[in-house]
Amino acid sequence: MKKLFFLFLIIIGSISCSNNNRAKLKIKVNGIEDGDLVLTRLDINRQTVIDSIKLCKSGCTYFVDKRDQSPEFYYINYKNNRVASLILKGGDRVSVITDTLGADITIQGSDDSNSLIDLERTMGRYQFMFDSLFVEMDSAVSLNNSSLAEQINYQLGSLYVKTKQRAIKHIYENPYNISNLYLIYYKFNQELPLFGDVKDMLILQRVHDSLIVKYPKLKYLAPLMEDIKLREQANILSDKLSEANETGFPDITLPDVKSTPKTLSDYKGNVILLVFWSVSDVNQLMMNKDLLELYAKYNKKGLEIYQVSVDTDKSAWARAIRDQKLPWINVCDGKGANSYSTIIYNVDRVPSTFLIDKEGTIVARDLFGSNLEKRVESLISR
């Protein structure tokens, strides 16, 4: 009889633990009679589809099974529109009322989710201002109105700084808020993350150290720490690069299309143009046509080009080399942004160029077109 009693307690306990790791969602989407919702979960750097939820006019109830009680990011989608962003913990009981565009949303039972929604609305306003200014600047550039373009560019910079300052203030005032993860990885566009500077590792470290106290099992913290370590390494190497500008350049060895190692310092004595690029951007493929003219004009006079691909698809890279018939040194290790070469040269965008004189000193960065040719010509004629 005692054995049965203990077995009963074990069963009850397991059911109780299981329920504690489930989040209950009551969902209503105004404006639809019926249809399917898609629930996704943020798993580090990608969204995983969890389930398709049948929805009727009066709404529905759905249980989210979780591995533990740590919070995770979830998104409810309807016809490719995100209608709700949620942060769910095991045991949460959350009511969501939204519309088919996710514009009018009310959430009860989750302070974390409400904080996330507020941040999304705030960043949405900044994003709208940024996009509008960017369109105006494109128009000014196309009209060759350099004065207006410069003015708008200043406004863009001011908006960026203002947004970042407010984000930092939110992080410091709400240290245990998991929605801070949304902020530190926010991007105005692919080339402009809000916290993309190497020095921002201090902000990332603060977010990590605060959250790990409250959520030691939070799955997003391990990759965050990896990012922090990469930035620490990049910062150290950036300092070395500054020193190298005085005495020489950081050396790198990477494989070419035949897997033969090519070392940058082997070409010392020439004027070297070090180029970081990607085959995925058609504009950078067009850039190679300009480089072909530059190379044909100055290679026999002492110019060498050492071009580093930041692509992870080495097949696409090799195909581009072959199709464009690029005659200079082309190398790629397939590690993308995690390549030692991109870290040691502090490359945070492509294309990036470094011009190295015959003595091995980096004399210029990110020169293109006529400015690049003028500098190459002056270095060769010395």
C-alpha dihedral over 346, 348, 353, 359, to 10 degrees?
0
Report the distance separating Cα 64 and Cα 68, nearest Å. Answer: 11
Q: For 160-213, what is each residue's pLDDT tens digit?
A: 989 999 999 999 999 999 999 999 999 998 778 999 887 788 899 999 999 999
Q: What DSSP state is assigned to residue 21?
A: T
Distance CA 112, CA 43 (A): 18
Q: Is the pTM of this model over 0.75?
A: no
Q: So what's the pLDDT on residue 277?
A: 94
Distance (Å, rounded) from C-alpha 55 to C-alpha 203?
41
For residue 165 the two structure tokens come to 């300052």
Taking only the tens place, the pLDDT of each residue in 51-105 is 999 887 788 899 998 777 789 999 999 988 899 999 999 889 999 999 999 999 9
Q: Which overall architecture, per CATH, does domain 20-109 show?
A: Sandwich (2.60)
Whole-Å CA distances, 318 to 263, 323, 350:
19, 9, 18
Asked if residue 373 lies in contact with residue 293, where contact means CB atoms within 8 angstroms, the answer is: no
Question: Considering Cα of 18, then 22, then 26, then 32, what sign does the dihedral take?
Answer: negative
Model confidence over 289-332: pLDDT tens digits?
999 999 999 999 999 999 999 998 899 999 999 999 999 999 99
Intervals of CATH 3.40.30.10 along the chain: 248-380
Between CA 326 and CA 299 the distance in angstroms is 13
Residue 6 has pLDDT above 80, yes or no: no
Name which of 290, 289, 253 is nearest 372 in CA terms. 290
C-alpha to C-alpha distance for 55 and 37, rounded to whole angstroms? 7
% of the chain with per-residue pLDDT over 70: 91
Mean pLDDT, the chain, integer = 87
Q: Using 50, 70 and 90 to split pLDDT, how confident is the model at 262? A: very high
List, as one string, the DSSP characters of 324-366: HT--SEEE--S-GGG-HHHHHTT--SSSEEEEE-TTS-EEEES
Can you give the pLDDT at residue 13?
46
What is the spatial distance between Cα 255 and Cα 100, in angstroms, rounded to a whole number? Answer: 51
Q: Torsions phi, psi of 76, nearest 5?
A: -105, 125
The closest of 42, 63, 39, 61 to 52, measured between CA atoms, is 39
Of residues 187, 198, 220, 211, the one with CA closest to residue 72: 220
The separation between the first and the last C-alpha atoms of the chain, rounded to the nearest angstrom, is 99
Residues listed for the chain = 382
Q: What gap in Å lies between CA 220 and CA 212, rounded to an integer?
A: 10
**Residue with tokens 């410091």, as numbered in its chain:** 172
Both structure tokens of 77: 């989608």
What number is the average pLDDT over the span 336-355? Answer: 85
- Per-residue tokens: 143: 């009209």
Report the SS3 class of residue 28.
strand
Q: Quickly name the fold that domain 248-380 has.
A: Glutaredoxin (3.40.30)
The answer to whether 118 and 105 are in contact (CB under 8 A) is no
Percentage with pLDDT > 90 across the chain: 55
CA distance 78 to 260: 51
Within 8 A by CB and 6+ apart from 142, the residues are none
Question: Dihedral, CA atoms, 266, 267, 273, 279, nearest 10 degrees?
Answer: -50
DSSP-assigned letter for residue 180: H
Cβ atoms of 272 and 298 within 8 Å: the answer is no
pLDDT at 8 exceeding the cut of 50: no
Q: For CATH 2.60.40.180, list the domain ranges present in the chain.
A: 20-109
